């Protein structure tokens, strides 16, 4: 990404992976530890998933490093979120103008449904931005469930539970593999859609993949009218897959 400012400082979006601190890449560790300022988003209660995942890494940071929490409540309406991002981007730009390299901690991968996307959009016209990729929740779920995402000629779609019923139904019909993110809060509705599409038996559920409190459900009939946390997803795959090609 190009820069139009005289400052050589860089705004890094750093993926810290899905939860297990050992799933942070060597490059992410190095960039985090060498950054002048580490920024992360907290919820209204002051909790940051990204910061928690990177806490061991941060123990090795240079002594002069500053950490800067930014509170953005995701439950508020779009206009308020936009102005919170505007404000956060202004703070980051001020640091960059002063010559500080800024690392923004992102749960999973920065450019996969990540808050970094909205900050990069605001910062990149005037400053250099670099992305350090991270292991996504979908890859983590696939690994923890020991379930291949795609093989041979299978197609895969990733959708949000916030999509309307028709889009979810059509996706379930047309794609071999489907990952539904933000699943927990919408589980009862998603179970009905899966059932109607005859794909309930093809579905596995995982919350907090690779965290210490990970939970896996492979038989969804056990979950009756239950809701789950935001950090959860459904992975739907075909029941019969061609493991051996003749």
Ligand X SMILES: C[S@@+](CC[C@H](N)C(=O)[O-])C[C@H]1O[C@@H](n2cnc3c(N)ncnc32)[C@H](O)[C@@H]1O
Binding site for ligand X (CB under 6 A): 18-19, 107-109, 112-114, 136-137, 140, 181-183, 206-211, 230-233
Nearest to ligand X of 9, 220 (CB atom): 220
Whether 39 and 68 have beta carbons less than 8 Å apart is answered as yes
Using the minimum distance from each CB to ligand X, give the nearer residue, 20 or 36: 20
Nearest residue to ligand X, scored by beta-carbon proximity: 108
Query: Closer to ligand X at the Cβ: 100 or 108?
Result: 108
Give the integer Cα–Cα distance in Å for 51 and 58.
8
Q: What is the DSSP letter of 37?
A: E
- Smallest gap from Cβ 143 to ligand X, in A, equals 11
**Which of the 8 DSSP states describes residue 119?**
H
The torsion region of residue 188 among left (phi > 0), alpha (psi -120 to 50) and beta comes to: alpha
State the minimum distance, in angstroms, from the CB of residue 192 to ligand X. 19
Contact present, 104 and 13 (Cβ < 8 Å):
yes
Q: What is the DSSP string of 166-185?
A: HHHHHHHHH-SEEEEES-GG
Report the alpha-carbon distance of residue 53 to residue 17 in Å, rounded: 8
Choose between 9 and 114: whose C-beta lies nearer to ligand X: 114
Decide if 12 contacts 76 (C-beta within 8 A): no
Q: How far is the CB of 81 from ligand X (least distance, A)?
A: 12
As measured in angstroms, the least distance from the Cβ of 172 to ligand X is: 17
Closer by beta carbon to ligand X, 60 or else 188:
188
3-class DSSP assignment, residue 152: coil
Q: How far is the CB of 136 from ligand X (least distance, A)?
A: 4
């Amino acid at each position: 990404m190009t820069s139009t400012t005289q400052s050589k400082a860089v705004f890094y979006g750093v993926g810290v992976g899905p939860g297990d601190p050992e799933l942070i890449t060597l490059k992410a560790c190095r960039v985090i530890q060498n950054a002048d300022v580490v920024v992360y988003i907290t919820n209204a209660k002051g909790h940051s998933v990204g910061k928690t995942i990177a806490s061991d890494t941060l123990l090795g940071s240079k002594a002069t490093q500053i950490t800067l929490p930014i509170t953005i409540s995701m439950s508020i309406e779009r206009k308020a979120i936009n102005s919170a991002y505007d404000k956060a981007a202004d703070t980051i730009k001020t640091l960059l103008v002063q010559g500080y390299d800024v690392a923004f901690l992102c749960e999973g991968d920065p450019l996969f449904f990540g808050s970094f996307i909205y900050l990069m959009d605001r910062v990149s016209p005037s400053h250099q931005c670099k992305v350090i990729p991270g292991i996504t929740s979908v890859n983590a779920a696939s690994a923890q469930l020991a379930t291949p995402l795609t093989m041979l000629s299978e197609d895969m779609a990733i959708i949000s539970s916030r999509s309307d019923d028709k889009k979810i139904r059509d996706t379930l019909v047309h794609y071999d593999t489907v990952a539904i993110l933000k699943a927990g809060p919408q589980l009862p509705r998603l179970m009905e859609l899966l059932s109607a599409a005859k794909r309930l038996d093809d579905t596995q559920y995982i919350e907090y993949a690779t965290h210490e409190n990970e939970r896996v459900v492979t038989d969804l009939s056990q979950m009756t009218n239950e809701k789950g946390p935001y950090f959860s997803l459904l992975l739907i795959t075909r029941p019969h897959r061609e493991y051996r090609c003749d």
